[in-house]
């Protein structure tokens, strides 16, 4: 982050989309966590903190920051935003992770003797940016769908793919065009083409994101016959596994005698397996 420092206040004027997004998300999370702590829902507070810190900050925002931090793409004040959100996040985490957060906070540029003496972060309504949250949510959804296609079809994570997309409305079109470079980088694409329809384009792996149909052409990437056989075997394996859990749930004595958390876990596993089976069937059907 060079000479960047933690800032006591941040103005959103002049900031690019990723910075406006992470500041907006941080402000919302601060409000959510405070509300959860006030009613002693420590479990919900920890879950909210975990998903924000690990998912949105450490996964998505750091990834979005790399081009600016490495000099590939210029964006103002990225280092300041990153350090400031990190420092405030450590303060939010401090009540449940006191020793680790203190150690990390001491290594940041800071003022004061201890993180425990710093004020707890609060919501800042001036940082809320609904449009930025909606646009980045679409970006994340598209990239996640492409990554899922790679995983389900065992495509090399480093291989650049073609991606076809058909937006459902003007807002999705505008957002995708504005974020085209970021999507290409995060999804590792060699081309990203808007089309009128995905029909009649040969074997493609399809997915649906928020307001847009996606298709990855597979010709030259996979042995389609081998992939059909592999997916068929995987679907059969998952169906057998799901049936085993479903048989347990169909037994009244299991539901009655087993601990509630065990019954709930079995139901959750069944639901997750059904979701995986549906996705694989959808992928298999797209191979023709």
Cα dist. 159→15, 146, 187 in Å? 32, 12, 10
Q: 196 and 166 in contact (C-beta within 8 Å)?
A: yes
Instruction: Supply the DSSP symbol for 214.
Output: E
Residue-level pLDDT at 216: 92
Helices H / strands E in the chain, number of each: 11, 4
164 forms beta bridges with 193, 215
d(CA 144, CA 208): 11
Structure tokens at 83: 């350090």
Structure tokens at 202: 């040969």
Nearest residue to 207 via CA among 153, 120, 148, 139: 148
**Neighbour-count burial for 223-237, b at 16+ CB within 10 Å, e otherwise:** eeeebbebbeebbee
Query: What phi and psi values does residue 150 have, to the nearest 5 degrees?
Result: -55, -50
d(CA 35, CA 29): 10
Structure tokens at 159: 């291989």
Query: What does the DSSP assignment read for 126-162?
Result: GG--HHHHHHHHHHHHHHHHHHHHHHHTT--TTS-EE
Q: 12 and 126 in contact (C-beta within 8 Å)?
A: yes
pLDDT per residue as tens, the chain (288 positions): 888 888 888 888 889 999 999 999 999 999 999 999 999 999 999 999 999 999 999 999 999 999 998 888 888 899 999 999 999 999 999 999 999 999 999 999 888 899 999 999 999 999 999 999 999 999 999 999 999 989 888 898 889 999 999 999 999 999 999 999 999 999 999 999 999 988 877 788 888 898 899 999 988 887 888 888 988 999 999 999 999 999 999 999 998 889 999 999 999 999 999 998 998 888 788 776
Report CA 276 to chain centroid distance, whole Å.
Answer: 18
Residue-level pLDDT at 179: 92
């Amino acid at each position: 982050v060079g000479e960047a420092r933690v800032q006591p206040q941040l103005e959103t004027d002049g900031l690019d989309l990723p910075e406006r997004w992470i500041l907006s998300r941080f402000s919302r999370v601060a409000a959510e966590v405070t509300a959860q702590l006030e009613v002693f829902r420590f479990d919900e507070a920890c879950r909210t903190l975990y998903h924000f810190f690990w998912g949105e900050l450490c996964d998505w925002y750091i990834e979005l920051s790399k081009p600016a931090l490495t000099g590939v793409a210029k964006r103002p004040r990225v280092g300041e935003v990153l350090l400031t959100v990190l420092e405030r996040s450590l303060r939010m985490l401090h009540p449940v992770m006191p020793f680790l957060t203190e150690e990390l906070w001491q290594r940041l540029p800071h003022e004061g003797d201890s993180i425990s003496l710093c004020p707890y972060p609060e919501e800042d309504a001036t940082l809320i940016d609904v449009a930025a949250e909606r646009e980045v949510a679409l970006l994340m959804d598209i990239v996640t769908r492409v990554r899922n296609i790679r995983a389900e079809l065992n495509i090399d994570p480093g291989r650049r793919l073609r991606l076809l997309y058909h937006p459902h409305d003007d807002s999705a079109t505008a957002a995708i065009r504005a974020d085209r470079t970021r999507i290409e980088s995060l999804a590792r694409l060699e081309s990203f083409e808007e089309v009128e329809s995905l029909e009649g384009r040969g074997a493609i792996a399809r997915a649906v994101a928020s307001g847009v149909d996606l298709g990855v052409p597979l010709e030259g990437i996979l042995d389609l016959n081998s992939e059909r056989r592999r997916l068929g075997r995987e679907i059969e394996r998952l169906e057998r596994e799901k049936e085993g859990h479903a048989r347990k749930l169909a037994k009244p004595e299991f539901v009655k005698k087993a601990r509630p958390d065990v019954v709930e876990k079995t139901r959750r596993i069944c639901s997750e397996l059904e979701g995986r089976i549906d996705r694989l069937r959808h992928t298999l059907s797209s191979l023709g």
